[in-house]
A and B are shown apart, each in its own frame.
Chain A
Amino acid sequence: MITDKDLETAQATFERLQNAIEGVIVGHEPVIEATLIALLCRGNLLLEGVPGLGKTLLVRTLASALDLGFSRIQFTPDLMPADIVGTDIITEDDGKRQFTYCPGPIFANVVLADEINRATPKTQSALLEAMEERTVTVGKSTYSLEEPFIVLATQNPIEMEGTYPLPEAQVDRFLLKASVGYPSLDELVRIAERNTEADGLRLPKPVATGEEILAARPVIREIPIAEELRRYVGRLVLATHPCSAHATPKVRQFVEYGASPRAAIALILGAKAHAFLAGEANVCRADIEAVFHPALVHRVILNFKGEAEGIEVSDLLAEVWKEIAVV
């Protein structure tokens, strides 16, 4: 049973967290919001953008603001799965040798998978179990990851050389995908100012604990969403399927696979978290709109014709949002 105090505490925690991150990161409010939503919803976040836009800094800031374990994995083409999840090594104790499991960098609360698409798909897949089941299996042993656990992966645009597209199964495990764009002139000036004066950029001190994060998660699940809005979310998701009756003409023409049921879950949970962060007590259509694009953009797979004609998934989603009526 959620009480007023639970709600107020949770909202205060995330308000502090948001302020701490915004004290370091200039601009990128939607990205910060997506990060907090992923944290609230027990999800993972995929950040996409060209190098140098502050993706890694955002994750480091979040880890710093939370009093939680943080690890960073730099994905490279020669990175192996064992380098992520850990491996059994031979240890000697009192002259007796035995295999002992040595945990990899995945064993942390906040994991930064930097430039995840520079590793091979085999290595990328090492994250699958950890991201979904919050467990790691090495040999015959399965190890649980400590909650709260969140993978924040950054990737460069797929067109850049030396990158491997993420497998669909792994992409689907990211709750949201946020695109990190170039800052505006004012934001750029402020970034330069923060990094070139005084002591330079300082990461924030911890403002929230893991327990507070875990306590906030059940609160957002209790936020009410109207039955008709849930049906609306269902129609939105179905509209991305080329064979669906709700599909728009462009979707029928250019889409190979539509969004999975995880997309509907992500939309509703994300909308609830968005309403929570906005201080509202219920989900409205604006909340769904806020998470519609980040929740679906990486889950819609174009067909060959769509790829060949350079169709943008964002444009298709914009059309879907425009066409599907709420009532």
Chain B
Amino acid sequence: MSVFNLSHLLRAVERRARRLQGLHLAGGVLAVASAMALAIVAACRLGLLPLSWPALGGVIALPVACALFAFLGVRRPKVSLPRLLLRIDQTLGTSERLSSLYELRQRGGRDVFRRRIEQHFQDGPLPWKKGLPVGPSHVGPLAVGILLLVGSSLLVAFAPLPLASIAEPLSAEARTAGEDRAATALPEPTVPAFPQEAQISSTTTLEQADTPAPDSFEDVLSDIWGAPVTGGSVLSEGGALGELIEEQQQRAQALEELLSRLEEQLRQGQQAGLTEDERRALRQMLPGVTDPQLRQTLENLVEETDPEALQEQVEQALGLTRAIARSQTDQSAEQQEKIRPTPEDVRESESAFDWTPPEEETTADGAQTARSATGEDRDDGASEQGQTGRGEEDIDSRGGTSGVSGEMLPSEQQPGFVPTDLAARVGSTGEFDEFLTKGVPLELDVAQGEEGLYSVNYETLRAILEERLIPPETRDVVKRYFDTITQGGP
């Protein structure tokens, strides 16, 4: 016969009740914190929130820490023992004996009744835990929290990495995702694929381009620069293209280092041929090599077994690599300079439009000079231009090239914008008829009975992209941008 110990039971009941309270609280905290972690991870995955790997790990670990703190550290309200005991009585069918014993204990005395009640509990241990079970209200939030946390972890572990949080080349998945986003934001292009359509000019009226949907422009620009564009449409030089160029340079540098090391080893006779690791490393580098000659040389190098021929090919590959690297460095440095037209370019443009330098004074037939039309009287000129003027302002604000003002004031300059001179033609009554900016593959045509029509010169576009070493996979995005601004967008 066991001795019934009410004090021991009360302590155990209170402990369990407090644990259940803590479990409930921790489950709620875990669920909320895990939901927030999942949102953060998802935002990071979508590229909305740049976070490093350690930060992502912290985001995953934080809900667990919060839940542990809630379970262990938070001071919980005092449990109501009479209520708990009554619940246990009700569950076990003990005719409220536990509650009555507690009542007797609280009031003192009356041993007659206490002894009689305790006799009912002498037969064996009381399964009082059945009265305080771990129910759905305790486990539910905890399970939800764990599921959300596992989801967040899986998202971190298996989902494609965001562009902002890694330093690897743009993966195929990410590129596909980016292009898909642009495709959903834009209508199906009416122009054929880029390589075959060099001779075809897709034209549209300037009025159509006058009211493009802002979202589609932003999407396209986001794809190009790898960062969301806000209402001001300030294009950052530190965008994806810059990163890609930098990555190409890094790859070239890595290849150069590998080849230098091979050349050194072969020259010193340390090895007769390539090791398996070296071959594997070269094969891994092959997809990133865009120069066909270098690529062919490297492919031969990987297959070569003759030491002399091998040394020759290594030297050849090294020479090509260094030449390409120099070319890239020079082009990168000159990239911004090339955007600004040289005086020769301006003159070329002027001659192309059969444009005569403007005079300082108003001509006899009332036509204004280019300076007066694009300088202090810019607003007046723009208001008189009608539709053409509006079109210029739109391109100016989005394309980053001033189509109206040939001399941008310092206060008007924005980061990433390069002031450029404008080759334009002013009509006899002072209208601003035509303009052409350097580095933009747009042409203004005037057809019979039509307003000014802008078209994309795909030949020029391709030349510019190749000149700037834009990767082939990114060119389509750039092309779509120009399609969009000439067709007015979706």
* Chain A interface residues (CB < 8 Å from chain B): 1-4, 6-7, 222-229, 280-286, 326-327
Contacts and interface: CB of A to CB of B under 8 A. Distances in A.
Contact of A224 (B83, B85, B100): B100
B113 A282 contact: yes
Contacts of B89: 226, 284
Contact of B83 (A4, A228, A282): A228
B8 interface: no
Interface in B330-364: none
Interface string B135-152: 000000000000000000
A284 B96 contact: yes
Contacts of A286: 95
9 contacts: A226-B89, A226-B99, A226-B103, A227-B99, A227-B106, A228-B85, A282-B96, A282-B97, A283-B96
A222 B113 CA distance: 9
Contacts of A222: 110, 112-113
A147 B112 CA distance: 27
Contact of B117 (A229, A282, A285): A282
Contact of A229 (B87, B96, B104): B96
B353 to A, nearest CB: 88
Interface in B393-410: none
Given A280-B95, A282-B117, A285-B96, A226 B86 contact: yes
Interface in B102-131: 102-104, 106-107, 109-110, 112-113, 116-117
B113 A224 contact: yes
B99 A327 contact: no
A229 B82 CA distance: 9
Contact of B90 (A2, A4, A281, A327): A327
B113 A281 contact: yes
A225 B112 contact: no
Nearest to A230: B103
B95 A224 contact: no
A227 B98 CA distance: 11
A3 B115 CA distance: 11
A282 B82 contact: no
A326 B90 contact: yes
A226 B90 contact: no
Contacts of B85: 226, 228
Count chain B CB atoms within 10 A of each CB in A3, A226, A283, A284 and give the residue with the most.
A226
Nearest to A231: B82
Contact of A227 (B82, B87, B110, B113): B82
Contacts of B103: 224-227
A281 B114 CA distance: 8
A3 B102 CA distance: 20
Given A227-B82, A229-B96, A285-B96, 12 more contacts: A223-B113, A224-B100, A225-B103, A226-B85, A226-B102, A226-B103, A228-B82, A229-B86, A281-B113, A284-B97, A326-B90, A327-B83
Contacts of A228: 82-83, 85-86, 99
Contacts of B87: 327
Interface string B294-305: 000000000000
A225 B100 contact: yes
B109 A1 contact: yes
Contacts of B83: 228, 327
A6 B100 CA distance: 20
A321 B333 CA distance: 89
A282 B112 contact: no
A2 B109 CA distance: 10
A224 B110 CA distance: 9
Nearest to B99: A226
A129 B459 CA distance: 117
Contact of B104 (A4, A6, A224): A224
B112 A3 contact: yes
A327 B110 CA distance: 26
B103 to A, nearest CB: 5
A325 to B, nearest CB: 10
A224 B85 CA distance: 15
A7 B96 contact: no
Nearest to A281: B116
Contacts of B95: 280, 282, 284-286
A3 to B, nearest CB: 7
A222 B111 CA distance: 11
Contact of B100 (A3, A226, A327): A226
A326 B86 CA distance: 8
Given A227-B82, A327-B86, A327-B90, A4 B112 contact: yes
Contact of A283 (B100, B101, B106, B112): B100
Contacts of A283: 96, 100
A226 B113 contact: no
A222 B101 CA distance: 13
B97 A2 contact: no
Sorted nearest first, the 10 A-B pairs with minimum C-beta distance are A226-B99, A282-B100, A281-B116, A284-B95, A228-B86, A284-B96, A224-B100, A281-B113, A227-B82, A228-B82
